[in-house]
Structure 1
Amino acid sequence: MTGTHVQFYCILVRVSQSADSGQAHTGQIRLTDYRAALTAPGARWPVLASLLGRLPIAMIAISAMLYTQREMGSFALAGVVSASILIGVAIASVAQGRIVDKLGPTRPLLVLASVFLVASTALILAIDGHAAEWLLVILAFLVGASEPMVASPSRALWMRLVPAGSVRAAAYAYEAISMEVFFILGPGIAGLLIGLPWPGLGLAIGAGCMAAGAVAFALSPAARAWRGEPDAPAKSLLGALASTGMRTLTIAAFGFGVVIGFVEVAVPASATNAGVPTVGGLLLGLWSLSSVVCGVLYGLRPWPRPMHLRLPVLLGGFGILVTTLAIPDSLWALAGFMLLAGVLITPQATAHSATVELVAPRGTMTEAFGWVITAVTLGLAAGQSVSGTLVEHAGPWLSFLAAGLSGLLLAGVVWSFRRTVAKPKVAGSVLAPVG
C-alpha cells in the first residue's frame, strides 16, 4: 500500500462505541498516552521489529515498477508487474489474518519470511535477465503473496498489550500515522536507489528489511505468547466481512487505494517525461510529508465528527484534491500540488483503523485489518494497472483526472452505505471504547 510505521503527538481520534447503547463518543489523546503505549510491558521489541518490517511497505512494489521500467523500457509492463505484487498481497493478507487469529503470528511469519526471500530473489534475477513478461508477472504475484504481513498482527497485538481507552487509541493512532512516515521514506528511497549503477538495489534492500523485521517480530515474547482466539465464536465463511460495516469500510479503503495507485504511476511518469526520473520517488514522498503534518492538525479537531460521515467525506475530498494534479505544467508546480493533495491521506488511514474497532466481529481483528490491507492493495493494483495504460497513450494528466473521478465515485458509494458503519449489525462486534 502506498497503496501505506513511527513517532507522533496530539491526535484526536473518534474511535469508540458503547457495547450497551451503541452511542459513539470521542476522546483526546495526550502525549502521555503515546508514551504509555510505546513503553507498555512487552511492547518495545515488537514495536521496533514492526518498524523494520514495515519500512519497505511502500517500497517493494514501487522499486519493482521502477526497476522493470528501467530494464524493460515500458511503463505499461512496469505497472502490470507492480499491480501483480499488490494483487498477491491483497489475496494473501486476509488468509494470513485468519491463520494468525487461529495460531498466533510466530509460525506463519517465519514461514512467509523464508518464502518471500526466495520469491524476491527470483524476481530480481528475472528482471535482471530480461525474462519473458509472463514470468515477470507470475514471480511478482508470488512476491506479493508471500510478503509477511507484519502490519495486521502489529495492530491487533495492541489489544493484548494495552487496555481499552485513550492509551489504546494512541497506539492505533501511532500505527496509522507512523505508516505515513514509511510512505514518505519508501518512495523517496526507491527513487534514489533506482539511480545507482544497479537499479535492483531498492528491491533487494526492501525485501531484506521486510523479511528481517518479520522474523524479529515473530520471535518477540509478546508475539510468541499470542495463542490465537480459542474462545471466539464460530465464524461464517465471510469471516470479518460478515459485518456490513466491514464491507462498507473495505469500499472506502479500496477507493483510497485506487486514487493512490493512479498517482503512484503518473508521478514517476511525469518526472521521466521531464528528463529527471529519479525525482519521481521524491515527489511521491512529498505528498506523504504533508499528509503527516496535516494529519496531526486534523486530529486535533476531526471533521466530520461521526465516523460514518468521515469515511465518505474524506475520500471525496481526497478525490477532489488529486484531480488538481492534472493542472501543473512543471515539476515544481506538481510538487506544490502534491503537498496539497496529500493533506487527507493520514486522516483516512486513521479513520480506517478506528472503524475496524467499531465494526469487526469478535475474534477477527487481525483478519479485519487484513481486509483493509487487501482492499487498499486491490485499489492500488487497479489504479496502477489502468494508470500505466493511460500514461502510455495520453500522458500523466489523464491519469490524475481519472484518479480524482474514481475517488469521488467510490465516495458516493460509501456515502450510500454510511449507516452500516454508524450502527454495526453483527453480534459480537468489537465495540469496546478505545478513545
Structure 2
Amino acid sequence: MKTTIAKIGQYEGQEVTIGAWLAGKRSSGKIAFLQLRDGTGFIQGVVVKAEAGEEQFQQAKNLTQESSLYVTGTVKADERSPSGYELVVSHIDLLHAATDYPITPKEHGTEFLMDHRHLWLRSKRQHAVMKIRNEIIRATYQFFNENGFVKVDPPILTGSAPEGTSELFATKYFDEDAYLSQSGQLYMEAAAMALGRVFSFGPTFRAEKSKTRRHLIEFWMIEPEMAFVEFEENLEIQEQYVAYIVKAVLDACQLELNVLGRDTSKLEQITAPFPRIHYDQAITFLQEKGFDDITWGDDFGAPHETAIAEHYDKPVFITHYPTSLKPFYMQPDPERDDVVLCADLIAPEGYGEIIGGSQRIDDADLLKQRIKEHQLSEDAYKWYMELRHYGSVPHSGFGLGLERTVAWLAGVEHVRETIPFPRLLNRLYP
C-alpha cells in the first residue's frame, strides 16, 4: 500500500510504501535510524539488520543526506515519536543518491541559509512555518466564504498608487508608465459596489529601503472591502477574522507549533473582542512610559507599537490617527476632522502592525478635495471618483499582511522565514 507520512497512522500494523527523502540518519550497532520526510511530514524509519538483512542494512548505513528513495516497512505506534508512529523498514529502493548536500546538521549563518533557500525549505523548522502559513490561507478562505464574501482578484499592474507615501516599482506598460501594485484596495472598493462583500489575496510590492525584521519588498495581503459597513462593524469583522485564524492554527498545527517551540498558551488567549486605544490616549501612554520624543501628530515606530502592545494580552487596535498621517481615501471622524476613522491592529509579543483598515470616504466632493490636497492626478483617479457618483454608500475595508501574521503565530523572529522565497532589500536570489 503506497501512502504518505501524514496518513501513515491509518495503517498501523500494516506494510506500506512511502516516497521520501533522507533528512538524516544514525546507526547503533545492528540498527540504523533513518529520518525520513516526504513533504507531508517527518517519520523515523528503523532498519534492524537481523530482520531486513545484510544488504538492506548496509544500504541504509550508506545512504546520504537528501537522497530520494521508496521505503517499504511496517507501521508501528511509538509514543516517543512526534507523529506517534515509526516505520520498521524491510526494503529500500534508492531513486537518486545525493552528494555533498550543502546544508548539514552543523550551524550555518543566515546569509548562507538564504543563499540556499531552495534547499533550506526542506528543514523541519521551515516545513513547520510553511504548514502554518498554509493553514492561515486555508482558514482565510473558509472564514470569508462562510461570511458571504466573494473572492475578487485585483490587477498587479496599475497606472496609479492607492497610497502616495511608499516608493513604487515602476515599469513600462508599452508606451505608458505602470507600477507594481502596493495594494488592491481601490479596485476592491469597486468590486464591493458590485458584489457587496469581497476579499482579495495576492502579492503586493513596496520599494521601501527597509531592513527591519518586519519588512519584505514583496509580500502577500488579504484585503476585504465591504459595502454598507461602517467603522465599528469593520473592527468587529477584523477581530472575528483574526480570532478565527488563530483558532484554526491551534487546532490544525499543534505538531508544527511544537517543532517551533511556540508558547501556545499566549495564542489560546486570542479571542474577540480586542482592546482599543485612541491615538490621543496612545500618545499620552507613550509619554508616560518615557518616550519623550513623541508628540501628537507623529507616527508610531516599532518601539512605540511594542510598548503599547506589551500592555495587553491580545492584539490591540490603535484608532483615530491624525488625518495628516493617513492616505487620502480615509473617512474623517464626523466629530473631529483632524483624525480619521481608521485603526491599526498591533499583534502581541512585539510583532507589530498586522492589519491597517478604515472607513472609506463616500462623499464625492470630499474625496476630490483630498485628491487635490495629496497632489494626485485627477485623471488617474477618475474611475475611482465615479464610484462616488453612481450610488455611493458608506463602506469600509482593511488589509492583513500575511507574513507578519505567520511570524506572530509561528513565533518566528524575522518575516524572511515566513515566505517561501523572500525578496529583501539586497536579495533577489534564489
Determine if the TM-score, normalized by the shorter chain, exceeds 0.5: no
If asked which structure has higher relative contact order (CA below 8 Å, sep 6+), I would say 1
**Bigger radius of gyration, 1 or 2?**
2
Higher normalized helix content (fraction of residues): 1
Q: What TM-score comes out, normalization by structure 1 length? A: 0.22
Higher normalized strand content (fraction of residues): 2
